[in-house]
Amino acid sequence: MATHIVPEAPGTGVSRRAFLKVSALVGGGLLLDFHLPNVQAAGSAGAGEALNAFITVMPDGIVSIRAKNPEIGQGVKTMLPMLIADEFDVDWKNVRIEQALADGVKYGPQFAGGSTATPINWEPLRRVGAAARQMMLQAAASTWGVPVAELRTSSGSVRHAPTGRTLGYGELAAAAAKVAPPDLKTVKLKDPKDFTIIGKPMPGVDSPLVVTGKPLFGIDVTLPGMKYAIYAKCPVFGGKLVKANVEALKSLPGVRDAFVLRGNANVAGSTGPLDRLVDGVAIVADSWWLAEQAREKLEVEWDEGGTAHESDARFAAEAAKLKGRAPAVYIVKNGDVDAALARAKRVVEADYAYPFLAHATLEPQNCTAAFKDGKLTLWAPTQNPESNRKVVAATLGIAPQDITVHMTRCGGGFGRRGASDYAVEAAAISKQAGVPV
């Protein structure tokens, strides 16, 4: 596992309870922050308000839209802004997309998994765009002294049908910033037949950068003074570190530090050894190669614990023993299977087995961390940034609001990046090593 350790970078943020704020952009501009009812995934609990999107309108008519979910190659960084842009009634060629920071209070659910990005965000983000469009209409009506009913929007401009006058969104931005945002529950959404962006083939916003090898992924992050760390862990889940030759490693070329970190099995929010800090040895060096060379000279003794006795053969034997028993729980039960089999003239029975699958992503697990003065900044290719923040905060003993998470593009996920181990390791190493290392 490769971990970057970097000096702290300045974080940014917007008040969690801000309903509408005007951004002091150079030359004037409009920043729309909307609270939306929190749209929960099926089966989740709780409810609340969450700010789901930012729309920034520049004086030249360029519209910047933030994509709130992690991008792991499924296209949501392009798709989610499309929902907003279509209802806002702007031309896609005039849209610029930014990746949002991780903030579950501000943006609502931010995760990649289960193919839920479209159904969860379909209506809420459309309403954000429709509300912004309504504010532009109101600003134009006030400017011209005409009823809103006489106005129409198209391609990032407002037109007054009776006189033919038009004003671009960029020209209206300052006035629109003074308009009270409408009730998102009552804004009028487009008829699907009027969509100009939704449902149309749009190239991925990052595609040119991906194919030309530009830095986009977590492993691409580089900052001045950055060091590299490797975290050696027990090859058996749940294993404990007994001893390691960390002092000997410190004298190796390019090695800045080497130390043991102890895990915490009871950290809040953890769901297992892949979602918390476990015992390990951190090696901090001037480059990944030097850290890797030092790991080759690491002498470590592990207490592998009871899990070391687990195996595919034991699991297969346990499955064979359990298959003759009544189910422990029914997920779905339709009819009486046992009775039907008892009446059958012929019963065909077969056993199927498959091994554990490695969720091996093309981009190795990695994270960049900067801890300073009790605050932490992370650059993480994560599928579940809010979970990362909670587990890291509990591990380091700091408040979640003192952690800024930049979501980088993920080089594959398969659910593996839904865990928090790589983020916790980077954070803990950065705190222990200091900044700079």
CA dist., res. 233 & res. 241, Å (int): 8
Is residue 355 very low, low, confident or very high in pLDDT (cuts 50, 70, 90)? confident
Residue 155 DSSP code:
T
The total of other beta-carbon atoms located within 10 Å of residue 59's CB is: 17
Backbone angles phi, psi at 9, to 5 degrees: -105, 145
Which of 10-19, 55-64, 133-142, 284-293 bottoms out in mean pLDDT, i.e. has the lowest?
10-19
What pLDDT score does 26 carry? 31
What pLDDT score does 210 carry? 94
The total of other beta-carbon atoms located within 10 Å of residue 411's CB is: 20
193-244: pLDDT as tens digits: 999 999 999 999 999 999 999 999 999 998 888 999 999 999 998 899 999 9
pTM of the model: 0.83
* pLDDT of 356 strictly over 60: yes
What pLDDT score does 33 carry? 56
88-120: pLDDT as tens digits: 999 999 999 999 999 887 788 899 988 899 999
Beta strands in 328-415 (DSSP E): 366-372, 375-380, 403-407
396, 431 contact by CB (below 8 A): yes
Q: Considering the chain, what is the average pLDDT of its residues?
A: 86
3-state helix, strand, coil in the chain (%, to 5): 30, 20, 50
